[in-house]
Amino acid sequence: MGDPPASPFNVHASVVALDPGRGVLIRGASGAGKSALALRLMAYGAHLVADDRVDLSVEDGALIARAPAAIAGRIEARGVGILNAEALERARIILCVDLDRIETDRLPTCRKDSLLGVELPLVLRVQHDHFDVAILQWLKGGRWA
């Protein structure tokens, strides 16, 4: 059964997921493109979990994301407004993306990050048009080596 979920830890980030078991936490400063990346992933079939603020908790050793009630089912599109979206209630985070740091290696080592004691793969921003679809494919199939 595991331990009951602890009080959520609220972070400035966005989360989208293919399903409740495969989500990505997108971090970055205000204006870094968290919502834009989330919207692109949603256009390819991912589901919104939370935009701008995310409640994180650890359940049975997994990092779980939820939207705070006040913003559930909403995502900001700069210059357009706040949009409604069908959203998943929760998702297990299997990947972190950091938009504040630029990846300079063509084939980077497997970076890691730890949130609330859960170690996760970490991808830095890539300055190429394939970034969004590469993140989508990671969620679908993971990374080889």
Nearest to 72 by CA among 57, 54, 59, 60: 54
pLDDT band for 3, please (50, 70, 90 cuts): low
Q: What is the per-residue pLDDT across 67-86, written as a single tens digit (0 to 9) for each?
A: 999 999 999 999 999 999 99
Q: What is the per-residue pLDDT across 15-67, written as a single tens digit (0 to 9) for each?
A: 999 999 999 999 999 999 999 999 999 999 999 999 999 999 999 999 999 99
Q: What is the dotted CATH code of the domain comprising 9-141?
A: 3.40.50.300
Q: What φ, ψ does residue 9 adopt, rounded to 5°?
A: -105, 120
Q: What is the per-residue pLDDT across 82-126, written as a single tens digit (0 to 9) for each?
A: 999 999 999 999 999 999 999 999 999 899 999 999 999 999 999
Q: What φ, ψ does residue 137 adopt, rounded to 5°?
A: -65, -35
Q: Where do the domains of the chain lie?
A: 9-141
